[in-house]
Structure 1
Amino acid sequence: MNQPISPPTQRITALDALRGFALGGIFVVNIMVMSKPGGFTDGPAHSLVNAFFYDKFYVLFSFLFGYSLTMQFRSAERAKASPTARTVRRCLMLMAIGLLHIAFLFTGDVLFGYGVAGLALLAMSRLRPKVALIVAAVPFAVSLISITALNMLHVDLNMGASERASALAAMRSGWLDAASYRWDGFAGNAHFFLMFGLLNALPMFVVGMVAGKARLLEQPERYLPLLPRVQWIGFTIATPICVLAAVTDWPLAGPAHLVAPLLSAAYAATLLRLLHQYSAVQEVFAPAGKIAATNYIGQSLIAAILFTGYGFALAGELSDWTVLGLAVTIYAAQLAASAWYVRRHRYGPIEWVLRAATYGTLRPTETVRTQPG
């Protein structure tokens, strides 16, 4: 029996634009460790990223993942297919892609953790919204307490000099040695990857799922009046705390982690307001969001060519500001390339693989009718 594939869900422009926007912030954070083991050294560039990017854009991306899951559920219901089976297959494929991403391109992959957290979200999908939010608050609280405790105890999680030198040598070596180093690093710290996914990403997944069930982003008349207040709260309350945490030695990592979602929400509110005022904003960001997974992997591939032994082996050779300039340039090129690509293709390569896994067919772009049997 062939599984029915429902007609494509009508795309939500706001969702695509937010996803495309988040890709840029995620890349700015990731390129710190893509370009140099242990990330940027202390200084203005490091403080800038910590204040305005770190812990801000994965929050938005996770929210959008949870929202999109509700759309997958609706699609399955229209096709009279099993939402559970589709979601499990999709999450398992995310985990598989994530493992390949880790081994060959970037140890800081999020797709594996998203796949695990997605399965946890599936288990919570039938909870009432208020109950789901209460449950989600538990792992977020654990994360907040842990970060605060580590900060108060002055626990240093940064690489030592010898570890940094070994990592740098591995990055500059041939692809097999580099892949082996990345895999060993992941295998030895897999519990931290899973912990990050469950404590940090899952709560945002749940918030996104609750918003998706309410179809919030599909009804501008509901969210537009709220956006000025969201901006005011985020920029007025969250920004000073995040800046102070980034530029001082005060024990503010916990409060900064607590208010980071508020600043993320302010970013999103700003983009949504611009989206409704200027059509060009949609044209710039939405195409990249339509093929977000392909762009995410593409960022790692480009960085690997630049910084590792796969290509130019520039790891540790460039200044932090030069690296940030490269991030902006690469992201701008992705926005332009995405606009060109989506005019000619319906799905990106990674999206095609995920869709094939979700629907359990190698013809994920076709509508297949259920056959007797």
Structure 2
Amino acid sequence: MVTSLNQPIQQNQRTIIVDVLRGWALLGVVLMNYFDFFTLGRNWESFKPDTLTNVLMYITNIFFSAKSWTLLSLLFGYGFAVLMDNVKEKGHNPYGFFAGRMFWLLVLAFINSALFFGDILKDYAVMGLLLLIFYRSSAKTTFITSVVLLLAVPPIAAFVGALKDTSWDEVVKLFPLYQSRNLLDVLTFGLKATYFGEMILKGYLYTVHLVMFCCMLWGFTLYKINFFGKLTNNKKYIVRAFWISLGIVVFLNVFFLAYANQKWVFLKHFKLRYYMVLSSMICIGSGICWLFIAGKLKTLFEHFAIMGKMTLTNYMTQNLIGLLVFSGFGLGIWNTKPLWFYLLLALVVYILQIFVSKWWLSKYNYGPVEWIWRQLSYRKKLPLRNV
């Protein structure tokens, strides 16, 4: 029998808006991950996209490009704080418990990296350990730290971007492995491409991780002030965040258009791209919270929440399906289809996952991968089926 001391957070104890935001982010993840296969190995100098492709590329760039992993990073920081307090209340050592939990997440990341070279679980596992430094910190401390990191992003992005880096060239050399009919070759590509394309690629290693950790600290701060727990009471702040972030997005868009015609030297040393990304993420996230408070789009948000309750399972499943569709071991589609095909496939996969997740959660407490991860973390057998 599993006692309450050893049980993780139950479904009925979850904060719905957090699952809604996770579900939305997961939609962006599958869209952009499948989008990546359209771009791989493509000669962009000779490629001439048609009108539909241009429109689709613009929409995905505005709403989804880098917005999903930044939002998920924020929610990871929030979930970290929730979990640490929950574990502490139940008598566990929060530091040791969380370190063990991140170890098992790293194991899952190894598996997922073999399926898809754009794995993000490894980053959460490593960056999550850094969050332990701030476990006892106040909301003020974590927020100030995040602001300092945020100010450092543009010059660091510029400096790193100016460094010579041939890591992606190594990924390109590995493409034949992914197009092989041999499953071992395909999985080897995933692992090697993850190493060259993310783990040692300077832009990802330094800039992306800096942005990611900044978002995690934001999520930690939101938990400390019980932001999601008092969502309705915080409506005025949500509305304010929406309009301010939207204003920044509009301003930066106009600014970048102006920069396209003006060769301003200082922007070589101060890259503002991630300010656009983070402002867009905050605008979209606060917009969803605003609609949620207003009781709008209830059915859609219910579906997002269902996906959010099984984020890990659905994320890894999306990558497995991608392998079976795009690799040589599967259908071998690779980059041979128009962009609409990849985005439509992502939407179909996402919609099917909603129905499968809804059916699964009607019978079981957790998604299958979440259940395995929880048992490894708590070192206890946990009930899977609903009673």
TM-score w.r.t. the length of structure 1 is 0.86
Deviation digits for residues 49-98 of structure 1, max 9, x if unmatched? 33332121111111111111111122112211111122111111111111
- Residue 334 (structure 1) aligned with residue 337 (structure 2): no
In structure 2, what is the Cα distance between the partners aligned to 1:19 and 1:263?
A: 16
- Residue 230 (structure 1) aligned with residue 241 (structure 2): yes
Decide which of 263, 275, 284 is 1:258's aligned counterpart: 275
Answer yes or no: is the 8 Å Cα contact 1:77–1:83 preserved in 2: yes
Answer yes or no: is the 8 Å Cα contact 2:38–2:338 preserved in 1: no
Decide which of 319, 327, 352 is 2:371's aligned counterpart: 352
> What amino acid sits opposite 2:40 in the alignment?
P
Alignment-derived partner of residue 11 in structure 1: 14
Decide which of 26, 35, 40 is 1:23's aligned counterpart: 26
Secondary structure in structure 2 of the residue aligned to 1:216: coil
Decide which of 126, 129, 132 is 1:119's aligned counterpart: 129
1:92-241 equivalences under 5 Å are 92-103=103-114, 105-149=115-159, 164=172, 166-173=173-180, 174-188=182-196, 190-192=199-201, 194-195=205-206, 198-239=209-250, 241=252
Secondary structure in structure 2 of the residue aligned to 1:312: coil
In structure 2, what is the Cα distance between the partners aligned to 1:49 and 1:223?
A: 30
Secondary structure in structure 1 of the residue aligned to 2:381: coil
> What amino acid sits opposite 1:275 in the alignment?
F
Answer yes or no: is the 8 Å Cα contact 1:38–1:158 preserved in 2: no
Alignment-derived partner of residue 312 in structure 1: 331
Alignment-derived partner of residue 371 in structure 1: none
Alignment-derived partner of residue 48 in structure 1: 59
Q: CA deviation at 1:248?
A: 8.4
Q: CA deviation at 1:312?
A: 0.2
Alignment-derived partner of residue 275 in structure 1: 292
**Structure 1 residues 171, 125: CA separation in 2 closer, same or farther (over 3 Å shift)?**
same
- Identical-residue share of aligned pairs (%): 24
Q: CA deviation at 1:282?
A: 3.2
Q: CA deviation at 1:269?
A: 1.7
In structure 1, what is the Cα distance between the partners aligned to 2:376 and 2:193?
A: 28
Answer yes or no: is the 8 Å Cα contact 2:326–2:334 preserved in 1: yes
- Residue 322 (structure 1) aligned with residue 356 (structure 2): no
> What amino acid sits opposite 2:212 in the alignment?
A
In structure 1, what is the Cα distance between the partners aligned to 2:144 and 2:256?
A: 27
Unpaired runs of 5+ residues, structure 2, are 262-266
**Structure 1 residues 198, 15: CA separation in 2 closer, same or farther (over 3 Å shift)?**
same
> What amino acid sits opposite 2:326 in the alignment?
F
TM-score w.r.t. the length of structure 2 is 0.83
More deviation in 247-256 or 59-68? 247-256
**Structure 1 residues 158, 249: CA separation in 2 closer, same or farther (over 3 Å shift)?**
farther
Answer yes or no: is the 8 Å Cα contact 1:291–1:348 preserved in 2: yes
Q: CA deviation at 1:139?
A: 4.2
Q: CA deviation at 1:293?
A: 0.5
Q: CA deviation at 1:181?
A: 2.5
In structure 2, what is the Cα distance between the partners aligned to 1:163 and 1:183?
A: 11
Unpaired runs of 5+ residues, structure 1, are 367-373
RMSD: 3.1
Deviation digits for residues 151-192 of structure 1, max 9, x if unmatched? 6x59898966x964x444222212111222232233445244
In structure 1, what is the Cα distance between the partners aligned to 2:193 and 2:217?
A: 29
Q: CA deviation at 1:18?
A: 0.7
